[in-house]
Amino acid sequence: IYSETHTIKGVKENCIRNNHSTVKPISLMKYLLTLIKMPRKDNEKQIILDPFCGSGSTLVAAEQLGINYIGIDQDLDNVLISTARI
């Protein structure tokens, strides 16, 4: 078994706040969303689908960037966490 721990600014604090084991920094998710932003016509809206949304970091980032989003998770606790964060 291989295990390695890295410290990423913001992750530890977010894990404690929302009790999710793999929470990602919203700043990282915002950066990643800007990388995949597709060109679109003026009247078209971009929609991000996160089929395993967990604690909702991608959804929060999308909300802050004005991007529409759909989040899916099978764990009710994750659904409650992500809903509270948005």
Q: Residue 20: its pLDDT value, please?
A: 65
Residue 11 confidence class, pLDDT cut points 50, 70, 90:
very low
CATH number at 11-85: 3.40.50.150
Q: Which residue has the higher pLDDT, 7 or 74?
A: 74
> Structural domain boundaries of the chain?
11-85
Residue 12 confidence class, pLDDT cut points 50, 70, 90:
very low
Q: How far apart are CA 14 and CA 36, in angstroms?
A: 24
pLDDT at 3 over 60: no
3-state secondary structure of 58: helix
Sign of CA dihedral 42, 37, 81, 52: positive
Helices 76-85 and 11-18 pack at an angle, to 10 degrees, of 110
Give the model confidence (pLDDT) of 48-83 as tens digits: 999 999 999 999 999 999 899 999 999 998 889 889
